[in-house]
Amino acid sequence: MDAALYWSPETKLVPNHKHEHLAAVEIMKLNHIIILQNKVDLIREQAAIEHHKSIVQFVKGTPHRSSSGPNSFDPRHNPENSPIVPISAQLKYNIDAVNEYILRTIPTPTRDFTSSPRLIVIRSFDVNKPGAEVDELRGGVAGGSILQGVLRVGQQVEIRPGIITKDNEGKVRCRPIFSQIITLLAERNDLKFAVPGGLIGVGTRIDPTICRADRLVGQVLGAVGELPSVYTELEISFFLLRRLLGVKTEDKKQTKYVTKLAKNDVLMVNIGSTSTGGRVMNTKGDLAKILLTSPACTEVGEKVCPQSANRQALATDRMGVA
């Protein structure tokens, strides 16, 4: 993500899930944030002013982590210094002001068009209607965001990890999927090529059964032979969030803090668009080795985000794969 619009409804002071959103902004090290104070048409002026003060108080003391390290902070991109724009999305009040802030405060990111193309799959579809004739059948469609490079119609592509199976000995086997790009779609626009930024639908010759019901979610699509390797074990460098998010305690005043990672802890590991289980094999300081329940296509230096296995709260952030 290049930036974030932090949405705050006027009907509530600060909803609980906003704590999680603010933590996510900190984890991702987003440098550009605009806070939107929505539904101003539903309350009086004085109530809007009080809500504005509650937003300022809420984001106060949440310094942004800079790219130089997990313990470094960049005061220039502190959420506390982000603009707060009162709007009404329903009546489109101040939407022009939001557009102006986006243009003035969020620089156009530099895209990588020269590297080998890589797309993370976040959706996959079977676009064929029931009862379609054989001649009318089309291959599966993968939807996602291009991280780098350029995809072109007619290009040969590879999808990893691909089809995952287990042999007689219980060892995991991955068979990459090879296909050809037939169509590229952005909303309803047919494209000849697609570049990084936004969401792209990639029509292929893949058996539509494989793409049905998001079965390709978490896979990586790119040029043949140029995708990252597939891993079942990760060695990570991490740091913990200070407290659990999204967890209710009996004593509402008591904060539940994150405990240290320990051997045999079970985690849910998020890598790109992949979510898979993992077990901590060993820890040493801020390093840990995790055994994944299913393979993941990733590379050294990529961020991953483990969380507790029962999905109660984010457990760690800013992890690098080795």
CA–CA dist 313, 243 (Å, integer): 9
Average pLDDT, the chain: 84
- For residue 134, list its beta bridge partners: none
Confidence at residue 57, expressed as pLDDT on a 0 to 100 scale: 84
Q: pTM above 0.75?
A: yes
Q: Select from 186, 179, 127, 180 the least CA-distant residue to 153.
A: 180
Provide the pLDDT for residue 65: 46
Assigned CATH for 118-223: 2.40.30.10
Q: For the chain, where do the domains classified as CATH 2.40.30.10 start and end?
A: 118-223, 230-321
Measured distance CA(315)–CA(243) in Å, rounded: 8
pLDDT at residue 71, as a whole number: 43
Lowest pLDDT segment from 5-14, 225-234, 283-292: 5-14
pLDDT in tens, 191-242: 999 999 889 999 999 999 999 999 999 999 999 999 999 999 999 988 777 6
Q: How many residues are recorded in the chain?
A: 322
Start and end residues for every CATH 3.40.50.300 domain found in the chain: 4-105
pLDDT at 309 over 80: no
* CATH number of this structure's domain 230-321, picked from the four choices 2.70.170.10, 3.10.450.30, 3.30.70.20, 2.40.30.10: 2.40.30.10
Q: Round to whole Å and give the CA distance between 288 and 310.
A: 20
pLDDT of residue 276: 92
State pLDDT tens for residues 123-150. 999 999 999 999 999 999 999 999 999 9
CATH class of this structure's domain 4-105: alpha beta
Chain segment 149-189, per-residue pLDDT in tens: 999 999 999 999 999 999 888 889 999 999 999 999 998 89
